[in-house]
Amino acid sequence: MFNQNSGLVKIWVRNVENGTVTREQVPKLSNLQEVVYAVLDTPPQEHNAS
């Protein structure tokens, strides 16, 4: 359902990167948590470029 370009994924990634929330606080909604973790685990220049 979600992919790395989904708006909701980008919001959660930004919030985790900024320290607003922790990785563990990303909701288990469909594949949201899985995709957010995958983006966070890639080098920053790869996911900030999109």
Instruction: List, as one string, the DSSP characters of 6-47.
Output: -HHHHHHHHHHHHTSS-GGGS--STTHHHHHHHHHTS-HHHH
d(CA 29, CA 6): 13
Tell me the pTM.
0.86
CB atoms under 10 Å from CB of 35, counted, come to 21
pLDDT tens for the chain, 50 residues: list them: 999 999 999 999 999 999 999 999 999 999 999 999 999 999 877 666 55
d(CA 44, CA 28): 23
d(CA 4, CA 49): 11
